[in-house]
Amino acid sequence: MRDKFHNKDGTITAYAFRCGYVEKYGNDIPRATISRLVNGYHIKGFDKDGNHFWEIEEKVKDARAFARKKAGKRN
């Protein structure tokens, strides 16, 4: 059976986002999470200086790039 919730690279699928799953990047500081709401992909977290950020992107590709930039690699 095919996994509807994860892509081959370990990221979550569009279906999983619609089900309310959250993608996490980083552990402590820096860290970021991506969630899907009706107006786009919300990236929330803390940067390397401990400052809180909240960004909204229309495309998941852009959201993942922003999260990796702010929090480093995915955990």
Using the Cα atoms of residue 64, residue 55, residue 50 and residue 35 in order, give the sign of their dihedral: negative
Which residue ranges make up each domain of the chain? Answer: 14-71
Q: Could you give the C-alpha distances from 2 to 6, 49, 64, in angstroms and in order?
A: 9, 40, 23
Please calculate the CA angle 37-40-22 and round it to the nearest 5 degrees: 55
What DSSP element (H or E) covers 66?
A: helix 60-71
List average pLDDT for each run of 10 residues in the chain, which is 75 residues long: 83 94 92 94 94 96 94 71
**Cβ–Cβ under 8 Å, residues 33 and 23:** yes
